Structure 1
C-alpha cells in the first residue's frame, strides 16, 4: 500500500482497490510526487472507484470506453466545475495507462477519453420545441416505455439531478398535492412542484408499469431496492444512474437529438425555460437546490445569449 493517499480511497472490490493502491505507490516512490499531490490523486480516484463500485464493476479489466464516457458525464451531472472534472479525468487516464503498461489490463479504454478544456461553457439547453419532441417520442404502453415517459417528464418538470431522480422513493411523491421531495447534495431536502403532464406520466407508470417490474424482483434484492424506489429496472431493483442515462440517450436518438443530450440537459432546459418565462432567479435557485445564487446565474447568461441570437437574426440593422 502507498505510504500516503491510500487511506483516502473508498471501500471497493479488491480488483479495483489493490491496483489503484499500487498506482499510488508508483506515484510516490517512482515519480516522487509530493504528499499533497498524492492526496489530490487519491481523492480524484476515489470518485472513480466509488462510481465503478456502484455499477457492480469488480475489476479494471471489465471497464470499457463507454463506461468512461458515462463516468465523465456523471461528473458534469454532479455539478463539478470544468477544472475539477478535467483533473479527475486526467487522474483516471493516467491510472488506466499505468494498468495497461503493467500488463494488468489487456488494453487502455481511457486512451481516447479527453478531459474538458477551456473556459466554462454555457449549459446546453434544448428549445421548448425540442423538449416537446423528446417527450412526444415515448407513446407506447409497455412498462419500460411508461417508465421512460415518467422519467423524462419528471426530470423536465422538476429540474432534478439524475441521482435525485433514481434515488426517489414512493414516500417522496404526493401526486394529489403535485409535490416531490428531492434530496440534493449533502442530503439537503427541497420540495418541488409537479406539473399536470408529469403527474399523469407518473400515475401511468405507478399504476400500470411499476407493478409489473416490481413483480420481477429477484429474491436476493437489496434492502434499498425493497424500500420503495419509484423508478425500477427490469429485475425489480432500483434503476441505476447509468441505466437512466442510457434510457434518456435512447429517447433522444428517437427524437433526432442524439448529440450531447444527457440527464443534465433536461435540468439546464428546465432552468433556462423558467427564466425565459419570467421566473425570479431566487425561485429557480431554490428549485434547482443551489446553495448559492451565483451558481444559478449562469442560466441568465444562457438567456442573454438567446436574446442576442434572436436579435442578430431578426433585427434588420443587426448585421
Structure 2
C-alpha cells in the first residue's frame, strides 16, 4: 500500500533544492523564496502522492448549507449587510476555485488557493490577509460546531505586510480642495467638510438621513462596524455648508446626501468617491493627490493627535475598536511634529 506524502514535506524539500538555482540579483533572497514557495504550492496543492478519486464529494450541498449557517451567525452577531455580503462573495470564489466539499479541504488546498490569488489574480498581501481572516473564521466555526474534526486553517499564517506611513493632506492642499469643492457645488463642499470634521467612514455617512442631523448640538448618530452606535460631532463651518446644501434641495428623499438628478437617489460609496475625484481634477495643483474618503478620516484622527487629545478619546471619536488602529496614525503625527520642530528651532 502506497504511503501518503504530505504536500508540505514535498514543497519544503524542493525549496531547499531550488534555493541556489533561483538566485536573481534583482530581488532579495526572501522575495525569491516567497515567490518560489507560492508557485510550488499553487502547482502541487491539488496533488497527492497517491491516486485518489477526483469526483466531487457528495457533501457539496452540505457544505453550501454550512456556509449559509455561518453567514447567519454573522448576522446574529450584528455584522453589517455589507460585511456579510463580502464574506459570501469570498466563500463563493473559494469553493468555485477548489471544487471540493468542506470535509475534503486540506491545509495544502488553502495554501494553493491563496497562492493562486497572489500570483494569478495579483492580490496584494493585505488582500490575502483579509481572505485568510474570512476563511479562518469559517473553518474555526465549523470546528467548534463539530461539523469537521480538524481545522485546516491552524497552520495558515498571515503574510507580513510592510507598514508604511500613509500620507495626510497638507494645509495648502486642504485649502485648495475646499476652494474647488465650493466651485463644484454646495453638495460637494458639504461632503468634504462633513468627512473632514467628523472622521466618519464613507459607509456611515451615506447611510445618514436628514432627520439624523442635530444642528443645535452639531452632532448625529452613526452606526459603525458591528452596528455599534456612536455619536459624531461636526464643526461650525461644516454645519453652515451642510445647512446650505439641504436648503438648496427640492427633493423629498430622506437621505442626507442624494444625486443631483431625478430620481434623486441616495448617494452610494462609489458616487462620493467619484465626486471627490472630480473635485481633484478641477485644480492642477492637486494632480497626483489622492482624495478619498478614508484619507479624510485619517486626517481627522491625525489632527486630533496633533492637538494632544488622549488616544482613548480619539479612538472613541473615530469608532476604533482596537487602539492599534488609532496608533497607526502616529507616523503622520510624529512626522508633522518633527517638521514643526525643524521650522521652529532650525529655520527660525
Contact 1:245 1:263 in 2 (8 A): yes
Asked if residue 24 in structure 1 is aligned to residue 67 in structure 2, the reply is: no
Contact 1:179 1:192 in 2 (8 A): yes
Asked if residue 240 in structure 1 is aligned to residue 268 in structure 2, the reply is: yes
Distance 1:161 1:21, change over 3 A: closer
Superposition pairs of residues 68-83 of structure 1, within 5 angstroms: 83=125
Q: CA deviation at 1:304?
A: 1.0
Deviation per residue, 1:51-78 (Å, 9 max, x gap): xxxxxxxxxxxxxxxxx9xxx9xxxxxx
Return the alpha-carbon distance in structure 2 between the equivalents of residues 21 and 283 of structure 1.
Answer: 39
Residue aligning to 2:309: 279
Residue aligning to 1:123: 166
Residue aligning to 1:159: 199
Q: CA deviation at 1:25?
A: 4.0
Distance 1:279 1:25, change over 3 A: closer
Distance 1:21 1:192, change over 3 A: closer
User: TM-score of the superposition, structure 2-length normalised?
Assistant: 0.56
Picking from 18, 34, 37, the partner of 2:106 is: 34
Secondary structure at the aligned position of 2:166 is classed as coil
Return the alpha-carbon distance in structure 1 between the equivalents of residues 342 and 161 of structure 2.
Answer: 26
List runs of 5+ in structure 1 lacking aligned partners: 12-16, 46-67, 73-81, 91-115, 216-225
Give the number of the structure whose alpha-carbon radius of gyration is greater. 2
Residue aligning to 1:304: 334
Distance 1:21 1:296, change over 3 A: closer
Q: CA deviation at 1:282?
A: 2.0
Residue aligning to 2:23: none
Picking from 223, 226, 235, the partner of 1:186 is: 226
Residue aligning to 1:230: 256
What's the RMSD between the two structures over aligned residues?
4.1
Asked if residue 198 in structure 1 is aligned to residue 241 in structure 2, the reply is: no
Q: CA deviation at 1:88?
A: 5.3
Asked if residue 207 in structure 1 is aligned to residue 218 in structure 2, the reply is: no
Deviation per residue, 1:4-56 (Å, 9 max, x gap): 86554789xxxxx99x8587344235xx85389669979xx9xxxxxxxxxxx
Distance 1:87 1:294, change over 3 A: closer
Return the alpha-carbon distance in structure 2 between the equivalents of residues 178 and 199 of structure 1.
Answer: 7
Picking from 206, 216, 219, the partner of 1:176 is: 216
Return the alpha-carbon distance in structure 2 between the equivalents of residues 242 and 193 of structure 1.
Answer: 24
Residue aligning to 1:293: 323
Contact 1:173 1:180 in 2 (8 A): yes
Contact 2:97 2:113 in 1 (8 A): no
Contact 2:181 2:192 in 1 (8 A): no
Q: CA deviation at 1:301?
A: 2.8
Secondary structure at the aligned position of 1:180 is classed as strand
Secondary structure at the aligned position of 2:278 is classed as helix
Return the alpha-carbon distance in structure 2 between the equivalents of residues 169 and 189 of structure 1.
Answer: 15
Deviation per residue, 1:258-284 (Å, 9 max, x gap): 432211111111111121122222221
Residue aligning to 2:180: 137
Q: CA deviation at 1:158?
A: 0.1
Superposition pairs of residues 80-91 of structure 1, within 5 angstroms: 83-87=125-129
Return the alpha-carbon distance in structure 1 between the equivalents of residues 112 and 221 of structure 2.
Answer: 34
User: TM-score of the superposition, structure 1-length normalised?
Assistant: 0.61
Contact 1:24 1:38 in 2 (8 A): no
Return the alpha-carbon distance in structure 2 between the equivalents of residues 162 and 295 of structure 1.
Answer: 17
Between 1:190-199 and 1:303-312, the stretch displaced more is 303-312
Contact 2:182 2:188 in 1 (8 A): no
Return the alpha-carbon distance in structure 2 between the equivalents of residues 294 and 21 of structure 1.
Answer: 31
